[in-house]
Every structure is written in C-alpha cells, then in structure tokens.
Amino acid sequence: MLSVVEFAPNDKVLDLGCGYGAVGVFTAKLIEPTNVFLLDNDPVAVECASANAHLNGVGGVNVVCSNGFMDFKETGFTKILCNPPYHADFALPKHFIHKGFNRLELGGTLWMVTKRDVWYRNKLQAIFGRVNVHPVDSYFVFEATKQSLNYASRG
C-alpha cells in the first residue's frame, strides 16, 4: 500500500487497525507527526505502536485504543490507511469503509490493501462511487476518494 500512496506535508492521516504501528510510524516520518493518528482495538497493539513511535523519533503521533470508530471522535482526515484482517468476515471492513467515509474530508482518500478483490471493489464503489485498484504483487490496493458528502448508494 505504501508503495502507491503519496503524502502531502499538510495531510491528516489515520492508520486504521494499526497493529504495531509500522504504517503510521512510516507516515509520521514523512509528514508532521501530530497529524498522524494510529488506532487499534487491541491494547497490546496500541502499546507496541506507541513504543515504536517513540523508538523511531515520532513521539508526537496520536495513538488511540478504540473498537473501530466507536471510541474515536477525530474527523477531517485527508487519508485513511487500512490493512483489514484477511481471514475475518466482512463486518469489520464494512465498518471501516462506512465509518471511514464519514471521517474523511471532502477530497480525502481511503486506502485499503487486501488479498481479495471483488467484495472490496464492489463495497468501495457503492460507498465512494468510484474506486481505483492498484495490483501490487499478490495484493490489491484500493484507492477510494470522497467526492460527495453522501454515500454513492445505500451500499
């Protein structure tokens, strides 16, 4: 995913489902760390992400423990980066897509990397109206930009 995403200095970025924080820490090395948010529902992952941020000199990042967007109120993201679990049902990625759309500013982009194509392509297109797919090795990197304040369809 990071091989196809380009960052701007004023981006506000969410690493959704950050795990140990690799994506968020990498991003914070490129843009202002205080504009980077790392979010995961696992307290151990959040602890690791926070430690990795400090070890990599980007201690200003915001690391938050939340079950998806339930306990997280921040909005206005220009980019949301997400690598959802591959072997789960689609409830979690559906939550990430629907609620992520609502947290993006107009013109903001949801970037999602998966091993599956069709379901994600269809869901993102239903919500965002259009989706670009970047095949990278055996992965699909989806790029969906918020072009309207409303979902494209009921999705």
Domain boundaries along the sequence of the chain: 13-145
pLDDT in tens, 15-34: 999 999 999 999 999 999 99
How many Å apart are CA 37 and CA 35, to the nearest integer?
7
Mean of pLDDT over the chain: 95
Q: In the prediction, which pLDDT does 154 show?
A: 60
How many Å apart are CA 127 and CA 149, to the nearest integer?
11
Question: In the block, which residue shows the tokens 């982009």?
Answer: 109
- Tokens encoding 142: 């989806």
Q: What is the CATH number of domain 13-145?
A: 3.40.50.150
- Please determine, for residue 155, whether its predicted confidence score (pLDDT) is greater than 90: no
